[in-house]
Amino acid sequence: MTHTMTLPTHGQGHSSSWNHSGNRRSRRWMQSLAAVAFGVASLVGLAEQAQAQTWQLVWQDEFTNGISSNWKFEIGNGQSGWGNNELQYYRRENATVENGNLVITAKREDFGGYRYTSARMITQGLANFRYGKVEARMRLPSRNGLWPAFWMLGSNLGSVGWPASGEIDIMEQINTDPAVYGTVHWQGPDGGHASYGGNVKVDATAYHVYAVEWDPNYIRWFVDGRQFHVVDITNSVNSTEEFQRDFFLLLNMAVGGNWPGFNVDESALPAKMFVDYVRVYKAASATAFNSWVARAPAGLTIRHQASRGRVDQPGSINPAGDGNWKMVTGLAGSGVSFQSQNYPNSYLRQRNGEAWLDQNDGSTQFRQEATFLQAPGLVDGSGVSFQSFTQRDRWLRHRNSLLYVEQINDALARSDATFSSANALTGAATGFSTTLAADGYAQMQGMQLEPSTEGGQNLGWIEANDWVVWNLNLPENGTYTVEYRVASQSGGGTLQLEKAGGSPIYGSLAVPSTGGWQNWTTVSHRVQLNAGQQQIAVKALGSGWNLRYVRVTKS
C-alpha cells in the first residue's frame, strides 16, 4: 500500500491528497522505505505480544449521551475530493449516536453536487496528544467503495504543512479487503514524503479494538491487544522528529477514491461505521505511587487496614503508605493491579465480593482476582472506574467505608464506584498502629478460621506448634506494644511472637481463661522490633485458645 499525500493549510480547507495504489508500491515509496529501514528485522519478535506497560486513562469519548464538544466536523468535498478524488460530501448530519455508539453513515444521497454523503470529525485545537496509548473499539461495514479510518495528524499542520506535520494511521480498511492497515507518514531525510506501513487480517465487520502505543522510541500497532506492526523513531532516526510532537485525532469514512477505487456498491448504502469509544491513556510511571480518591464523599481515599480494603480521610491513614498504590500491569496480563506501597508483594484483590489486600501466591485465580479493567468514571465519564477482570458486571466501589466488588445498579453506586488519582500520601509515623486481622494472614498452619461474635472471623482449633504469619511494615526501630485479642474456655495456652521462620523470638504470653471460646479479652506485652517490611508469626506453645487479631502500636 502506498500513500502520497499533500495537505495544505487550514485556510485552504484542510484538504488532502492521498495516492493509494493497493499492493503496487511506487518507486519513491520504495526508496523512502529503503532509506529508513528502522532495524525492523530485529523487532519482528515483538510483533507477537503487547508490551507490558501500565496505562492511566486521560481522555475519552464514550458516546454514551452524544458526541462530546471535543470534536468538530469538516464539511464538503475539500479540494479534488480531499485530494484523493473521493466521491462524498462530508456533513455533520451523518454522524449520530445509537445505543452508546458513534455512528458515521455513508449514504447514497445527492447533496452539494455529489452523489454520496458521509462524515469526518477531528479534535484539532480541542484535544491534542503526545505519546501514550490511543484506541478505539470499532465495527466496520467492509463494502466495496468504502474507506473507514481512525488516524492522527500533527497539530502543527497549519504551520508546517504535510508531510512535515507527520501522520499516524491507527486503522484504515478499504472495500471488502480482509485486512486493516497501520501506517506512518513523515518528511524523509531527502525532504520528500516517506511512509512505512503494515497490515493484519481481521473480520472488520465484528467489533475490534484498534490501538497504537506511542513513546519517544517506538510506535506499535495492535488489534485486540496483539501487536502487528512497529516503527522505530528513537532519537528521531531518519528524520522522524515529527513523531516527537503533538497530534490530534480524526475519524471518517470516505466513499470512493484513488485507493479503494470508484466501484461503489450502492446496494450496501446506507452503510454504518460504529465506534463504541475512543480512549487515550498516558504511560504510568513504573516506580511512582499514587493515592486514589473517591468521587463522594469528597476526600475519601482507598487504603488497606488490617488487610481489609476501605476508604478513609487521608489524615487518618497512618502509616500514610497504607493509602498509596503503584498501578502495575494487571497480574492477569491486561488491565491494572493495585500494588501496596507498604507490602510490595501484596495487591488489592476481590474475595467473595469484598476487596482485601493479599499476598500474591502466584496462582491464576489470584492474578485474575487482583486485576481490574480501567474504564471512564461511571458517573459522567470523568475520573476512573475499575471493572472486575473475572466478573465484568461488577465494579470496585465503597460502601459504609469498606471496599466491595459489586454490581452497580443506581446513581449512588455509580458515584461510589468512581475514583480519581491524586498525589501519594505523606506523613510522619507518629502514633503508628496497625491491626493484623485473623483472616488477613499471609500463611498459616493448623489453625482454622471461624465466625467471631465480635464480627469478622477469628482463628480457632489451635493446637501446640500451630502458627500464623502476617506481613508487617514498621516505620522505625524501637519499642512496640503488641496486643492480642484472645478467648479461652479454661486457659492454659501460651502464645509466642517471633519472626517468621522462628528466629528471633520477641516474647511470649500466657492466655488466661475467659470462660468461653467467644468471650474475648486483650493481653499485651512490649517488644523491640526493627523498621521495614517483614513477616511476624504467632506460634502456639500450648493449645486451648482462640485469636481474633494482633495490634502493633509504636510505644
The DSSP string of 269-292 is -SEEEEEEEEEEEEEPPSS--BEE
Placement of cell 515483538 in the chain = 46
Cβ-contact 103, 96 below 8 angstroms: yes
Peptide bond into 319 cis (omega under 30): yes
8-state DSSP, 501: T
Query: Nine-digit cell at 181?
Result: 492497515
Judged by DSSP in three states, 234 sits in: helix
The one catalytic residue among 172, 369, 406, 498: 172
Query: Nine-digit cell at 309?
Result: 480494603
Q: How far apart are CA 117 and CA 91, in angstroms?
A: 7
Q: How far apart are CA 228 and CA 208, in angstroms?
A: 14
Judged by DSSP in three states, 325 sits in: strand
Q: How far apart are CA 229 and CA 210, in angstroms?
A: 12
CB atoms within 10 A of CB 315: 11
Q: How far apart are CA 373 and CA 169, in angstroms?
A: 26
The one catalytic residue among 86, 135, 167, 498: 167
The pTM is what? 0.62
Q: How far apart are CA 466 and CA 457, in angstroms?
A: 18
* Chain centroid offset of residue 7 CA: 35
CB atoms within 10 A of CB 214: 25
Per-residue pLDDT of the chain (555 residues; tens, 9 = 90+): 333 333 322 222 222 333 332 322 222 233 334 333 343 333 333 333 344 577 888 888 989 889 999 999 999 998 888 888 999 999 999 999 999 999 999 999 999 999 999 999 999 999 999 999 999 999 999 999 999 999 999 999 999 998 999 999 999 999 999 999 999 999 999 999 999 999 999 999 999 999 999 999 999 999 999 999 999 999 999 999 999 999 999 999 999 999 999 999 999 999 999 999 999 998 876 568 889 999 888 789 999 988 899 998 888 888 888 999 998 888 987 788 999 998 888 999 999 999 999 999 999 999 999 999 988 889 877 788 999 999 999 999 999 899 999 999 999 999 999 998 888 998 644 457 788 989 889 899 999 999 988 878 899 999 999 999 999 888 788 899 999 999 999 887 899 999 999 999 999 999 999 999 999 888 999 999 998 889 999 999 999 999 999 999 887
Instruction: Please enumerate in sequence order all residues whose Cβ is within 8 A of that of 144, keeping only pairs 6 or more positions apart, or say none.
Output: 175, 176, 260, 261, 263, 264, 265, 268
Q: How far apart are CA 230 and CA 220, in angstroms?
A: 4
Pick the closest to residue 172 from 163, 154, 184, 164 (CA basis). Answer: 184
Instruction: Please enumerate in sequence order all residues whose Cβ is within 8 A of that of 23, keeping only pairs 6 or more positions apart, or say none.
Output: 1
Q: In what order do the strands lie in the sheet with 467-474?
A: 443-445, 467-474, 532-540, 494-499, 505-510
* Straight-line distance from the first to the last Cα atom of the chain, in angstroms, rounded to the nearest whole number: 72
Cβ-contact 416, 404 below 8 angstroms: no
**Residue 167 among the catalytic residues:** yes
